[in-house]
Structure 1
Amino acid sequence: MIRSPHSAISLDKMALAFEKDISAEFTIKALLAAWPPDELKPVMTYLHDNLHGILTDRPAELEDHIGRLQPLIDQAKADYLAAGHAMLNPKTGAVITNPASIQTYLKNWVNKSIRAIFNYDNDNQSFISKDSGRLAYRHARHLKVDSCPYCNANFTFTIKNKRMKCRPQFDHFLNKGRHPYLALSFFNLIPSCALCNSGALKGSKPFSITTHVHPFLNDMEGLYNFRADVDAVDFLVNGDDFTLVLKPCKGISSAQYKKAQQNIKAFGLDDRYSYHKDIASDVIKKAYFYNKSTVEALFTSFQIGNENIFKSESEIKELILGNYMHPDNFHKRILSKLTKDIAEEFGLTI
C-alpha cells in the first residue's frame, strides 16, 4: 500500500471542503431533524447532532461514533420488536417468525432508513449517480490519486469528457453495509481500483484502524518491502530463478506487522505480484548495469552548453527505471513501490 499524496492536515482541510459540497447537494441535516418520533429517533438525533464529525472526522473518531451509535441502534431494534410491528417478507408478504429472519429484517429496516439519508448509491440522486456522477467525479479529481493506494498495481485516473469517462471506485474502509451512516464520510471514501474493491478481495470484509493499515494516514513504507532474495550474478550469469516476496522491514513492531499482514492478505498482494516477476527481473538488470559510477558519468556527460540536462542523479535513476523512486510520488504511477524496492535491494537508491 502506498503513501497518500496529501498530508493529514491537508486531508482535514479537504474534508471540510467536502462537507460543504455535500451540504450544498443534499439535505441530510434537515432530513435528520425532521425524523418522526419513532424507534429510530434517538439514532437520527445523534446523527443530526454529530453530523459535522460524521462527515469530516478521521478514522479513529469515526470508529468512536460507531461505538456510541451501536447501543442506540440495538435499542431501536429492541423497541421496534417490542412494539409488535408487523414484519412481512418483502417477496411473499408472509409474516416473519423465524428469529434469524427477524434479525435480518430489523437490520435491513435500520440500514434502509439511514441509507436513504446518507445517499451514496441509493437511487439516481445519490452521490455516485446524481447529475451523471458529477459529485463522485469531482471528488475523485480533487483527491488526485492516479494509482490504487491499496495495490499500486492498477491505474485510477479520473477522466470525464465528451468521448469517455472513468474514475476510481470508492472503497468504504469501514464497511457501509454495517455502518451506512459513514457512507459519505470523507475519510471513509478511499479511491481504489475495481479489483481491490471487489467481493473477491476486500469486498465487505470488516476493516478497522486497529487491524488494518488505512491508506490516507499510513502506508507500507518502512513496514514491508518487495524482495527477490537472489544474488545479482547468480541471476544474470547462472540464470537462477527467484521468488518475489513481501518481507517485513527490520524493527517493525508486532502490531504493525499484524496490520500490514492483514492488508497484504485482504488484497492478495503476494499472489498478484507474483505475476510481476518480469518487471522485477528488468529492475535487477538495470540496477546492476547502471551502477553508481555509470550514473555519475551520465549525470556529468549530458549537457547543453554548460548546463546539465538532469537536475540530479536521482532523476537519471528514475529515467533508467522508468518509474518513480520516492514514496511521495508512488501514487502517480503503477508498480512504483515494487520498482523502488527491488532497485534498492540491488544497490540503486535515491
Structure 2
Amino acid sequence: MIVSINQNWVDAEVEHTIYLKKIIHNFLHSQYSICGPKTPAYYFVREARKLIISHTLSDISSSITILNTHTRRLGTQKKRLLTELKKIFNYDKFISKHGAWNAYALCKKSKTRICPYCNHAYAFTIECKRGAFRPTLDHFFLKDQYPHLALTLYNLVPSCATCNSSLKGEENFYQTPHLNPLFDHEVITFQLFSTGDPSGLLDDISLNLQNVKLAAIAPTRCVKSQNSLRTFIVNERYELLLMEAVDFFVAKVNYEEAKVNTQIGLQFSEASQLRFDRTQHNKYLLGKMFADIYDTF
C-alpha cells in the first residue's frame, strides 16, 4: 500500500449495509423452517453476522477467527461450510450488474481515483451507453479462503488489475500481514538521491544521471510495510519512473528559485506551476512520490 484511502467507502456505507443485512436476513430466515440440526453455515452466520457487516478491522479479523473455529470443529466437513458461504455471499452475482445495488453502483461511490497499492494506475468508474469499466475490487482477505467476507464493504479495495491479479494473486494477507489501504496510515516513503555526492543531486541530474536513484523506503520494523514492498514489487516498478521523479524535482527547484527572484515578479501559484497540490496528493498518479520529494524542501 502506497496511499491510504480510509474514507473511501463513507458514501456507500448505508446502501451496502442494507444490501448485506438483507442477504444475511434472508439466509437465516430460510433456515427457520428446518427441523433438527441446520446447515453448518447457519450456525456460523448467526454467530458472526454483526462482524460480517462491520466497518472495523478488528471485527472483520474476529470473524475470521470464528470461521477458523468452526472449520476446525467440522473437520472433514469444513468444505461444506465454505461452499455454503460462497453461495450465500455470492460475489459473482454482485459483479454481474444484477439488481440496483451491485459492483458498479458501489464503485461509483468510491472516492479514490488511483490504485492505493501502487499509486501509478487509475481506479475510477465509467458507465455509459458505449461501454463501462470499473476498478477491480481486491478482497484484502481472500474470498476463497474467507467466503463470508466476499461482500464485506471494508474488505473490498478498489485497485488495478496488475496489483490485484498479477501480483497479489492468492497471497493470504491474514496470515502474512500487509498494509491495508482502508485502515492503515501511509508509512512507505520515496527518496530521490545521488549515489555520488549526496548534496550534488541537482548537478548529477544534469551531468551524471546514472548516479540518480529513486527508492521506496519502509520502516525496518514494520513487517506489514516490508511485505507490501515485496508483494507489489514497488521498488522494481518505481525504478522505471525515475524520470517522472526527476522532472518533478527540477520543477520544484525552478519554482523555489523563481519565488525568491523578485525581478521575475511571480504571479502564478505553486499548484499551477507544479501541476500538483501537496494537500491533495492522494488524488494524483504518483502523488505520494511527488509529496515525499516536495517535503524534502
TM range (shorter): 0.7 to 0.9
Q: Equivalent residue for 2:25?
A: 29
What is the CA distance between 1:144 and its match in structure 2? 1.8
**Long gaps (5+) in structure 1:** 81-105, 303-309, 311-315
Sort the Cα spacing of 1:301 and 1:229 in 2 relative to 1 into closer, same or farther, 3 A: closer
Query: Pick from 171, 178, 184: which aligns with 1:205?
Result: 171
Instruction: Kindly indicate whether the alpha-carbon contact (under 8 Å) linking 2:6 and 2:184 is maintained by their aligned counterparts in 1.
Output: no
1:61 aligns with 2:65: no
What is the CA distance between 1:322 and its match in structure 2? 2.1
Q: Equivalent residue for 1:116?
A: 87
Sort the Cα spacing of 1:57 and 1:162 in 2 relative to 1 into closer, same or farther, 3 A: same
Could you say which structure has the higher helix fraction? 2
CA deviation vs aligned residue, 1:126-174 (integer Å, no higher than 9, x gap): 1111338961111111122110111111001111011221111100111
Instruction: Kindly indicate whether the alpha-carbon contact (under 8 Å) linking 2:6 and 2:181 is maintained by their aligned counterparts in 1.
Output: no
Computing the radius of gyration from Cα coordinates, the structure with the larger value is 1
Supply the distance in 1 between the matched residues of 2:132 and 2:146 (Cα, whole angstroms). 29
- Paired amino acid for 2:240: Y
- How well do the aligned residues superpose, as a CA RMSD in angstroms? 2.9
Supply the distance in 2 between the matched residues of 1:298 and 1:54 (Cα, whole angstroms). 63
What is the CA distance between 1:321 and its match in structure 2? 2.3
Query: Pick from 340, 347, 350: which aligns with 2:291?
Result: 340
Supply the distance in 2 between the matched residues of 1:212 and 1:334 (Cα, whole angstroms). 22
Question: TM-score, with normalisation over the residues of structure 2?
Answer: 0.85
Equivalent runs, 1:8-47 vs 2, <5 Å: 11=10, 14-23=12-21, 27-35=23-31, 41-47=39-45
What is the CA distance between 1:38 and its match in structure 2? 8.4
**Long gaps (5+) in structure 2:** 195-199
Equivalent runs, 1:1-350 vs 2, <5 Å: 1-4=2-5, 6=7, 11=10, 14-23=12-21, 27-35=23-31, 41-78=39-76, 80=77, 107=79, 109-121=80-92, 126-131=93-98, 135-198=102-165, 200-208=166-174, 211-220=177-186, 223-230=187-194, 231-241=200-210, 242-248=212-218, 252=219, 254=221, 257-291=222-256, 294=259, 301-302=266-267, 316-326=269-279, 329-345=280-296, 347=297
Supply the distance in 1 between the matched residues of 2:68 and 2:37 (Cα, whole angstroms). 14
Secondary structure of the 2:163 match is coil
Instruction: Kindly indicate whether the alpha-carbon contact (under 8 Å) linking 1:19 and 1:52 is maintained by their aligned counterparts in 2.
Output: no
Residue-pair matches, total: 288
Identity over the aligned pairs, expressed in percent? 26
- Paired amino acid for 1:30: N
Instruction: Kindly indicate whether the alpha-carbon contact (under 8 Å) linking 1:29 and 1:51 is maintained by their aligned counterparts in 2.
Output: no
What is the CA distance between 1:275 and its match in structure 2? 0.8
